[in-house]
Amino acid sequence: MNLFDKGKSGPQPVGGLQAGANVDWVYRVQEIQRKKTYKGTDYLDLTVMDKSGKMPAKIWDNIDHYHGLIKAGEIYRISGEVREYKGNLQLSVSRLRRLEAGDGDFPAEDFEESPPFDSQALMDDLAALLDANLSDPHLRRLVELFQAEFGPVFRQAYGAMKIHHAFAGGLLQHTHSLLKLILAVAPLYDLDRELLLVGALFHDIGKTAEFRTQPALESTLAGGLLGHLVISLEIFLEMKKRVPDFPEPLSLRIQHLIVSHHGEKEFGSPEVPKTREAYVLHLLDLLDSRLSIFSEQLKAGDAQKLFSEFIPALGTRILLEK
């Protein structure tokens, strides 16, 4: 063993890693994908994480060996160097191995992601907003059922696998923002506030079954084959059956909000918005998702650079100067 084999002595949480840091610590591999560089060379693209955060990681050498060894969701001892690439930090892995007895004990909860905000407080606020703004007894009953069934899941759910709200609590944060936007916009245009609130509550709930985050972040069979619009619709229809005498026209309007919220058929909506409320939900959904891409880029962006890299979802590079 030479000096370079010696591990760092203390914990190195992902959230505290800086560019240039030499890393030798224990992380969970959340995702692993074999990819090719533009020159055609194979490499492994990983996401490593612990409860403090997550970071992309790359393995450039011994690809076959590591591809056979690494299982997404498991914890490994990883050495490497933190580098900056296109304005974001990533870990260039030089060595990775399974945990050994001498590594010590690492409780599973140290590798579970928690929402980057007080999710209980946000959940309480969401419940209070709905309670204060819904008077229709069918909708109130529906929301009660929703909260009983999805409350705990909702607090932890990702809002997406990639791009925006892709973190624990992301779905709750996105839905909560939509409710606030609806309350601001509905009176300006004399829109059906109650319909919009309930449509927003259900619109992305199918994401809780579209992909899983444990043990690894990946699509489910239903998610890959049906997508979250169809799953959200199914969840709504099943829950609505448990509310006696739920009016059919109201049910159809909510269903329309769910299936048209991506706005265009080429983006997965089987029908485009045909009511003012459906159109508004689509636009507010777009507004919140796009602005969260801005804020996530501004947060992660390189302070030394004026513009970000090209962001496909926005179709441009964005100004990083605040």
Distance CA 73, CA 94 (A): 20
Q: How far is the CB of 204 from Fe ion (least distance, A)?
A: 4
Q: How far is the CB of 157 from Fe ion (least distance, A)?
A: 12
Q: How far is the CB of 320 from Fe ion (least distance, A)?
A: 26
Q: How far is the CB of 246 from Fe ion (least distance, A)?
A: 23
What is the Cα Rg of the chain in Å?
Answer: 22
Q: Which amino acid does the sequence have at 31? A: E
Q: Give backbone dihedrals phi and psi of 86, rounded to 5 degrees, phi first.
A: 50, 45
CA within 13 Å, CB half, 111: 22
Residues pairing with 81 in the sheet: 22, 92
Angle, CA of 191, 195 and 197, to the nearest 5°:
95
The yes or no reply on residue 204 touching Fe ion (CB under 5 A) is yes
Which residue of 285, 297, 301, 308 would you call a contact of Fe ion, by CB under 5 A?
Answer: 285
Stretch touching Fe ion by CB under 5 A, among 17-25, 30-38, 180-188, 277-285: 277-285
- Which residues, including other chains, have CB under 8 Å from residue 10's CB and lie 6 or more apart? none
Stretch touching Fe ion by CB under 5 A, among 19-27, 28-36, 150-158, 198-206: 198-206
Q: How far is the CB of 134 from Fe ion (least distance, A)?
A: 20
78 or 198, CB closer to Fe ion?
Answer: 198
- Separation of first and last alpha carbons in the chain: 48
Q: Which amino acid does the sequence have at 18? A: Q
79 or 232, CB closer to Fe ion?
Answer: 232
31 or 285, CB closer to Fe ion?
Answer: 285
Query: Which of helix, strand or coil describes residue 290?
Result: helix
DSSP for 99-136?
Answer: --GGG----GGGG----SS-HHHHHHHHHHHHHHH---
**Binding-residue total with Fe ion (CB under 5 A):** 2
Tokens 């030499």, located at residue: 22
113 or 204, CB closer to Fe ion?
Answer: 204
50 or 285, CB closer to Fe ion?
Answer: 285
26 or 160, CB closer to Fe ion?
Answer: 160
Stretch touching Fe ion by CB under 5 A, among 39-47, 137-145, 162-170, 283-291: 283-291
Q: How far is the CB of 252 from Fe ion (least distance, A)?
A: 19
Q: What is the token pair recorded at 57?
A: 């990681």
Stretch touching Fe ion by CB under 5 A, among 12-20, 86-94, 279-287, 295-303: 279-287
Stretch touching Fe ion by CB under 5 A, among 76-84, 134-142, 186-194, 204-212: 204-212
The yes or no reply on residue 210 touching Fe ion (CB under 5 A) is no
> What DSSP character marks residue 307?
B
Q: How far is the CB of 181 from Fe ion (least distance, A)?
A: 11
Q: How far is the CB of 240 from Fe ion (least distance, A)?
A: 19
> Alpha carbon 200 to chain centroid distance?
17
Contact 5, 62 (CB under 8 A): no
31 or 204, CB closer to Fe ion?
Answer: 204
**For binding to Fe ion (CB under 5 A), which residues are involved?**
204, 285
